[in-house]
A and B are shown apart, each in its own frame.
Chain A
Amino acid sequence: MTHVLGAYRPGASPLHRLPAWSKVAALVAWSAVTLLVRDPITSGGMAAAALLLLVSVTPAPGPTLKGLGMIVIVAAMAGAYQVWRGDYLAGIDIGVDLIGLFALSLSITGSTPMSDMLDLATAAARPFRRILPPAVTGLMFAIMLRAIPEIANIMRQSRDAARARGVRRNLTALMIPTATRTVGFALDLGAALHARGIGDDARSDAPRLRPMRLSPQAPSE
């Protein structure tokens, strides 16, 4: 499901044109309504609307369908639990709510550049600037999203490495290399941030930009 994180695709849909803050506000309001209203028909209508919004931003089909497939399984399990408890309406309501919220989240990440989200997180953190610089808060948000697929990738590689050595279903063989390599990735990322001077963002006396020209042509793919 990590494929769909930060899966922004440029476009001209109405959602693409909306500012990031309005989309995040809509997501919060939508979540509140789905929590408060326990009516399968309303939830079904909202989920259908969210799916239409998702289609309108034309996300990458493969990862989106894969992500939706996963959330349908989770929704079915959550719904089945409620049905098992005897609450059929709640079962349908929770399952459909989950699908609707996931579809809306995907339509927002698919139509909002990460830099806009970064600006929004930075702006939202301004009231707390005495505790943490707003730029750092925004950056933490970006790094978190960047780290999730990378950690999933490390976990996949660790699992393959364990299998290549004939070790299967061994949690230690999976988790220890994953943990150590994740720490290594975090250290490398920290060093890269430091080297790029990104932690020094808040300084206002930075020099003005003077683009540097380069000559050689890149090889074709």
Chain B
Amino acid sequence: MIEFKDATVVAPDSGIVILKPTTLTLSENRITVIGANGSGKSTLARLINGLAIPVSGSVSVDGVDTRKHGARVRRKVGFLFTDPTSQLIMPTAIEDVMLSLRRVIKSKNERVKAAMAALEDIGLGDKADVSVNALSGGQRQLLALAGVLTATPKVVVADEPTTLLDLRWKAHVGALLHSLPIQLIEVTHDLEAATKADRTLVVDDGGVVFDGNPEDAVSHYRDLMYRKSVGEPA
């Protein structure tokens, strides 16, 4: 269970409030977060993994505070970025997955076996020795996901994981994410995907402005965007 208690994020240089004091309890298995660009939804997602730390208030995962115990939180929460390019560090697919396993498996042979199994599971078994630069965008995102899942997290936070993918890979990566037997928190601009959740948050201007049923959340978001586009007060 993820708990936000008055969590606030402020840009260090400008002092601009990126996320207003937010209090939430996220316990549902599938949660989507929607909102305009720059609304603060990625910051909200980053707080869960400890990538961002609140200036005031707190965020905890299963009671573990992200500020005090970042390493423990990161073992529980995997994070998938929009662009997998910067998430892949090693030159080949299998080596990149093995990198995630270095802290949990000391034996190299065991690491190779586990990484190979993870690649097979995700459908990249035949790409084990292929350079990450030779993989397609969709395959890179799958590889990034394999790297996240081998660390056996309890929660996966995905920040617009399908934005850069074509329709075919978008459907595949989306289906894989939703088939995970763990909690998934997905930030997305795909309103159809957003409705496949148990709960949806709408973030606007640094705050959660709607929290509830996905269909109602999408309607609220569409209405909000329409009003903004015609210059009506949100």
Q: What residues of chain A have their CB less than 8 Å away from a CB belonging to chain B?
A: 6-10, 113-115, 118-119, 135, 142-143, 145-146, 149-150, 185, 188-189, 191-198, 200-203, 206-219, 221
* CB proximity to A under 8 Å, residues B47-80: 49-51, 70-71, 74-75, 78-79
Partner of A195, one of B74, B98, B118, B138: B74
Chain-A contact segment, one of B82-90, B207-215, B222-230 = B82-90
Structural contact, A211 and B150, CB atoms closer than 8 A: yes
Give Cα A7–Cα B108 distance, bound, in whole angstroms: 21
| B164, CB-defined interface residue at 8 Å | no
Partner of A149, one of B81, B133, B172: B133
In the complex, residue of chain A having the shortest beta-carbon distance to the beta carbon of B157: A195
Give Cα A219–Cα B121 distance, bound, in whole angstroms: 14
Number of A-B residue pairs with CB-CB distance less than 8 Å in the complex they form: 141
CB distance from A147 to the nearest CB of B (A): 10
| B114, CB-defined interface residue at 8 Å | yes
CB distance from B161 to the nearest CB of A (A): 13
CB distance from B132 to the nearest CB of A (A): 9
| B105, CB-defined interface residue at 8 Å | yes
Give Cα A195–Cα B50 distance, bound, in whole angstroms: 8
Main secondary structure of the interface of B (DSSP, over half): helix
Structural contact, B51 and A198, CB atoms closer than 8 A: no
Give Cα A208–Cα B108 distance, bound, in whole angstroms: 15
For B118, the chain A residues whose CB sits under 8 A away are 211
> B79, B89, B151: which has the most chain A beta carbons within 10 Å?
B89
CB distance from B197 to the nearest CB of A (A): 18
CB distance from A1 to the nearest CB of B (A): 15
Partner of A218, one of B51, B81, B142: B142
Given contacts A113-B92, A195-B74, 8 further A-B contacts (CB under 8 A): A8-B92, A114-B90, A142-B90, A197-B71, A207-B104, A212-B152, A214-B123, A219-B168
Give Cα A213–Cα B104 distance, bound, in whole angstroms: 18
Structural contact, B81 and A188, CB atoms closer than 8 A: yes
For A213, the chain B residues whose CB sits under 8 A away are 121
Partner of A214, one of B74, B122, B148, B152: B122
| B38, CB-defined interface residue at 8 Å | no
In the complex, residue of chain B having the shortest beta-carbon distance to the beta carbon of A201: B103
| B181, CB-defined interface residue at 8 Å | yes
CB distance from A126 to the nearest CB of B (A): 15
Closest 8 CB pairs of A and B: A218-B123, A188-B86, A197-B74, A195-B79, A6-B91, A200-B71, A192-B87, A216-B175
For B196, the chain A residues whose CB sits under 8 A away are none
* CB proximity to A under 8 Å, residues B142-186: 142, 147-152, 168-169, 172, 175-176, 179-182
Q: Provide 30 A-B residue pairs closer than 8 Å at the C-beta atoms, listed in order of the A residue.
A: A8-B129, A113-B92, A115-B108, A135-B102, A146-B90, A188-B81, A188-B86, A191-B51, A192-B81, A194-B51, A194-B74, A196-B79, A196-B100, A197-B151, A198-B99, A198-B100, A198-B103, A200-B70, A200-B71, A201-B103, A207-B104, A209-B152, A211-B114, A212-B121, A212-B152, A214-B180, A216-B123, A218-B172, A219-B169, A219-B172
In the complex, residue of chain B having the shortest beta-carbon distance to the beta carbon of A217: B123
